Amino acid sequence: MNNNDVVALVTGAASGIGLATARTLAGAGVRVVLADVDAAGGARAAQELGGEFIATDVSDLDANAAMVAFATERCGGLDYAFLNAGVTSDCSLGEDFELAKYRRAMGVNLDGVVFGTHAVLPALRARGGGAIVATASLAGLTGVQLDPIYAANKHAVVGLTRSLGASLATEGIRFNAVCPGFTVSGMTAGLGDYVESFGVPLIETQKVADAVTHLLLDAEVSGECWFVQYGRPAEAFGFRRVPGPR
Q: Are 212 and 32 in contact (CB under 8 A)?
A: no
150: containing domain: 3-236
Q: Which of 14-28, 53-67, 131-145 has the lowest mean pLDDT?
A: 131-145
Cα–Cα distance between 217 and 6 in angstroms, integer? 10
Q: What is the mean pLDDT of the chain?
A: 91
216 is a domain residue = yes
Q: Say which CATH number the domain at 155 has.
A: 3.40.50.720
Read off the pLDDT of each residue in 135-140 and give the average, rounded to a whole number.
93
pLDDT band at 145 (very low <50, low <70, confident <90, very high): confident
57 is a domain residue = yes
246 is a domain residue = no
Most confidently modeled of 62-66, 183-187, 198-202?
Answer: 62-66
Does residue 150 have an active-site annotation?
yes
Q: Which of 213, 129, 113 is nearest to 169 (CA)?
A: 129
244 is a domain residue = no
Structural domains of the chain, count: 1
pLDDT band at 3 (very low <50, low <70, confident <90, very high): low
pLDDT at 56: 98
pLDDT at 185: 60
| pLDDT digits 0-9 by tens, 82-106 | 999 999 888 888 888 999 999 999 9
pLDDT band at 186 (very low <50, low <70, confident <90, very high): low
pLDDT at 91: 83
pLDDT at 239: 86
Cα–Cα distance between 217 and 196 in angstroms, integer? 32
Catalytic residue among 80, 150, 194, 230: 150
Say whether pLDDT at 41 is over 80. yes
> Which residue pairs, CB below 8 angstroms and at least 24 apart, start in 1-7?
1/79, 2/29, 3/28, 3/29, 3/30, 3/217, 4/29, 4/31, 6/30, 6/31, 6/79, 6/80, 7/31, 7/32, 7/33, 7/71, 7/75, 7/76, 7/77, 7/78, 7/79, 7/80
Cα–Cα distance between 108 and 103 in angstroms, integer? 9
pLDDT at 147: 86
80 is a domain residue = yes
Percentage of residues in the chain having pLDDT higher than 90? 75
Read off the pLDDT of each residue in 109-121 and give the average, rounded to a whole number.
98
129 is a domain residue = yes
pLDDT at 6: 96
| pLDDT digits 0-9 by tens, 228-239 | 988 888 999 998
